[in-house]
Amino acid sequence: MVQAPDIAQLAQECNGWRQQLRQERNEIGDMKKNLQHVAAANPARELLTDIEHFHNQFYIQLINIHDLKHAIKDHEKQVEHGNTSDECLSKHESLHTEYQNLEHIISDLRTDFNTFLSRSS
């Protein structure tokens, strides 16, 4: 059985994940703005494929962030109401894995986009 401090820790982890995802969402918004500036300043056809790729990736990752944030919030509500069943704890681990995977994808996207920006300057 999970003790009360563990419930608080689980809720705190969920809150931290959601906060980080908000920051990622804002950063992707900034990258979208940078992409628009590049597209406007460099109408070269050879950049169009990369511009479209990043535009699509930003859109997809914003959806992924939104979906994961809501899943975490729903889970956090269960935890705060004392649901600490094995299923709930398993869900927590699953969400943590999803969060880490998304963070890795966004980190790779950020690196690729910064490389693209340096090439297109």
**Domain range summary for the chain, segments of one domain joined by +:** 4-120
Rounded Cα–Cα distance for residues 102 and 98 (Å) = 6
> Which residues contact residue 61 at a Cβ distance below 8 angstroms, ignoring those fewer than 6 apart?
24, 28, 102, 105, 106, 109
Average pLDDT over residues 107-116: 97
Please name the residue that has the structure tokens 């004392």: 82
Residue 7: pLDDT band (50, 70, 90) is confident
Report the pLDDT averaged over residues 21-40. Answer: 96
- pLDDT at residue 81 above 90? no
Give the per-residue pLDDT at 1: 38
Tell me: pLDDT of 57 over 80. Answer: yes
Residue 52 pLDDT greater than 50, yes or no: yes
Rounded to whole angstroms, the Cα distance separating 100 from 16 reads 12
